[in-house]
Copies of this chain bind each other. A is one copy, B any other.
């Protein structure tokens, strides 16, 4: 792991401008609050980007210079350009880490990574949530005791339509009687993915010191371990490792790129 990690916190930045409650809680925007939490780790170089910027702030060069992308969206998933979503996916496959927060379960990028509908059940009652650590000693749970308690949260309940996670780091208990897989990891290509449930915009979740600890841990965990550029190369017959001669008919000329 490199000593310093370059992080972009991406925020949809919509409700902060439209909804008085959200604006009051996050006057600087949610992305800036999340970024401030990450900056408590002095070795993280944290920048922000928002939907409203050109290319949503996620140009090719910006992504190339990013180790981990943290994503928060809710009301405007559909306004994220397909082209940008696909560029983010390609960069994840190369090795960039990706952290999807709360309502980002329905973001274009997360749904594309999962290959499922990513639906769930939900209720906005400001109820108590307790996230239990299922894998003590997992790097993402470092410094967390047996659980995290949040007094006021939106509820997300099972069934959560995701593929079986590689690891289930947190499971949530809700006051109203539901449960949820609140902290899950997957790998897609060379990129590490972490979904973390807390984060509804009408509560000051991202000011919570333990939530911030989880986010810093997750960014460290998701750091690229290497880089792989995906090319789908044709292997010429003369470069086969075992002696080989052309047999039978063929569709492609030697060295052709093939269909994509």
Overall SS of chain A's interface? loop
Check A237 for interface membership: any CB of B closer than 8 A. Answer: yes
Question: A126 and B248: CB pair below 8 A?
Answer: yes
Question: Given A126-B250, A147-B241, A176-B241, 17 other A-B contacts at CB below 8 A?
Answer: A21-B251, A75-B259, A89-B115, A106-B260, A115-B115, A117-B189, A117-B230, A119-B231, A124-B251, A125-B245, A125-B250, A127-B244, A137-B227, A159-B228, A161-B189, A164-B167, A173-B179
Kindly report which residue of chain B lies nearest to residue A256, judged by CB atoms.
B124
> How many residues of chain A get a CB closer than 8 Å to chain B's CBs?
102
Given A117-B93, A226-B138: A126 in contact with B202 (beta carbons within 8 A): no
In the bound complex, residues from chain B placing their C-beta under 8 Å from that of A90 are 117
Question: B127 and A247: CB pair below 8 A?
Answer: yes
Check A236 for interface membership: any CB of B closer than 8 A. Answer: yes
Kindly report which residue of chain B lies nearest to residue A225, judged by CB atoms.
B139
Question: Closest CB of chain B to A82's CB: distance in Å?
Answer: 9
Check A160 for interface membership: any CB of B closer than 8 A. Answer: yes
Check A53 for interface membership: any CB of B closer than 8 A. Answer: no
Given A115-B188, A117-B230, A235-B121: A168 in contact with B164 (beta carbons within 8 A): yes
Query: Which of A121, A139, A149, A160 has the largest number of chain B CB atoms within 10 A?
Result: A121
